Structure 1
């Protein structure tokens, strides 16, 4: 007999009309606000610069340039979040981008290979680098941070060797045309390639069994093993995917500039990490996610572009990316409300 009042009380506590109703609604509002805070900040930042420089910052030419020019960074950041989701760092992504673009230039511009054959070689090379990274990390149990730092440095040496430390131009105009020359609604095709990849990764992580397993592995590897998930296989495939997408980013980069520079590609590493961790505080807070990463890239580029147009010196880019990375890591840990994951 005494259970009925208790059940009624419990119902009152959890019902929308009960005393917990307003608290629950406030909690839901707070979660929504947290999820879209970065998007709101991006819009607000664009509005501020738009008010200060309405004729230059808000011009379609500037907007189109920002959207198209950052496609390379978006794709590279999306490549990075795949191993990060599984709990592994990949510091070789920027070096792989550089190697891929250099292979395109050497094979196509210097040796006369077709652009398609050169692209195929670049993609296969990315997969091979992913296999090498995975082999050292998973077989020898070396922390991913150390392995990928080493392979990235090695790759940078290979790039300098095959290029003679020189910029190589003369890449097939067809690649350049399909990356930056052709536009849809005034925006280079490169932006749409990045957007398609974002949609693909979002769908994979949110709506496929393999994506769910990847998220589970990133949360807790030991529990995943006990649940029957082949953790090492998941991590292996993630590192290969990172290498392949990084290679594709190199192809995109070669098409963007019409040449290959042995050094400039490595400058994308810090911005990619800043975008990945900042994106983990948005849309799906506490989790690396595609849409959050996309928003983070354009939040950063809007800030840098706006400050540069206001006359701030170019060092603002380093300040913005470096500060964003530190703050993003701190915020992502606060959002997760738990101990840092094992990234070994």
Structure 2
């Protein structure tokens, strides 16, 4: 009986060693390639951004080559950058969070309702909005990890539920008159001619870049996304990593809602939902640049403003508004396709 158990254990150990060797093979550096190919993969989107500006500028040079146009664009799209940065965290661990735009809308509306209708201080309203983001992430994690439901289904349902809550607490109406203290520190105060909202997005981008590139936490998140079973066998607490990623995503989405309220000085129960597709398009497009093959904060930052530049140029050309949906939708499909191709060539950085 004892001999049989020893044989079983030896077989299990052999199987684990085989899995680890296979995963180490995936971690091995990719075959050497020509420097030009490496450069094109890492910086191709930046080059495409410059080319896009030059092409659009040939039609509208007075607008496309004006610093004021870009200063306004950088500030007005800062909340999309923040929303995208929140989204890439669960994407890194292999989960989709379709509720981020709804969480953004909930946070925005909570700030307006608490500050305007209930006369809370703006600081207290922001704190409660961020706490709501933490709660949404925890609920998502509970259903995904405890009940083993796919993240797409859970976050889609959570998003629709949150939309109902937003319509309920707002009575389906726009709430304006949010404290000017928030408006001043988000959009009215400028540095180098750009609203502070942009610089908040820059700081968050730098923070996430540091976490993913230079901390053990970031490497564990990448490890989980590449192979959950192997990560678990290696001692990584996979459920904790995934739960933390989902909570971080919703909390950052709530921060995007706070910025959005400060930029508008009001809250609309439905306008934030339009940012879900741009965030996904930027997240996948960003995974094709700077650190190709994986979701990364600097790439997401560049992707947001690459897409925003295209939209801005089309608006200057007087293109109908429906083209914006075509641009973001087509961009998402192309970005996902390129991302998958690069992932096959570069298993792990």
Name the TM-score, length of structure 1 as normaliser: 0.90
- From 68, 76, 94, the equivalent of 1:61 is 68
1:39 is aligned, of 31, 43, 46, to 46
Partner SS for 2:62: coil
1:163-242 map, 5 Å: 163-242=170-249
Aligned 8 A contact 1:273 1:325 in 2: yes
SS at match of 1:49: helix
Q: Equivalents in 2 of 1:291, 1:190: separation in Å?
A: 17
2:115 aligns to what?
Answer: 108
Q: Distance in 1 between matches of 2:34 and 2:342?
A: 14
Deviations 1:9-59 (A, max 9, x none): xxxxxxxxxxxxxx95x5232112111001110111112222322212222
Q: Which moved more, 1:61-70 or 1:83-92?
A: 61-70
Which of the numbers 119, 122, 125 marks the counterpart of 2:126? 119
Alignment equivalent of 1:147, drawn from 131, 145, 154: 154
Using the size of structure 2 for normalisation, the TM-score is 0.89
- Partner of residue 300, structure 2: 293
Cα-to-partner distance string for 1:273-322 (whole Å, 9 max, x where unaligned): 00000101111111000111111111111111111211211111100100
Distance in structure 2 (CA, Å) of the matches to 1:63 and 1:288:
25
When residues 339 and 157 of structure 1 are mapped into structure 2, their CA distance, relative to the original with a 3 A threshold, is farther
Query: 2:266 aligns to what?
Result: 259
Aligned counterpart for 1:311 among listed residues 308, 318, 324: 318
Counterpart of 1:247 in structure 2 is: 254
What corresponds to 2:80 in structure 1? Answer: 73
Alignment of 1:282 with 2:286, yes or no, is: no
Deviations 1:242-282 (A, max 9, x none): 11101111000000100000000000000000000010111
1:132 aligns with 2:139: yes
Question: Matches of 1:303 and 1:243 in 2, distance apart?
Answer: 28
Instruction: Name the SS of the counterpart of 2:61 in structure 1.
Output: coil
Asked if the contact 1:333/1:339 (under 8 Å) is kept, the reply is no
Say what the alpha-carbon RMSD is for the aligned residues.
1.4
Kept in 1: contact 2:82–2:252 (CA 8 A): yes
SS state at 1:52 partner = coil
Q: Gaps (5+ residues) in structure 2?
A: 1-30
Deviates more, 1:97-106 or 1:58-67: 58-67
Which residue matches 1:48? 55
Structure 1 residue runs without a partner (length 5+): 1-22
Q: Say which SS state the counterpart of residue 36 (structure 1) adopts.
A: helix
2:330 is paired with a residue whose SS is helix
Q: Match for residue 98 of structure 2?
A: 91
Q: Which residue of 2 aligns with 1:335?
A: 342
Contact in 1 for aligned 2:293/2:346 (Cα 8 Å): no
Residues 172-201 of structure 1 deviation map (CA, whole Å, 9 limit, x = unaligned): 001000000000010000000000000000
- Runs of 4 or more, structure 1, over 6 Å off, are none
What is the aligned partner in structure 2 of residue 11 from structure 1?
none
Displacement of 1:60 = 2.0
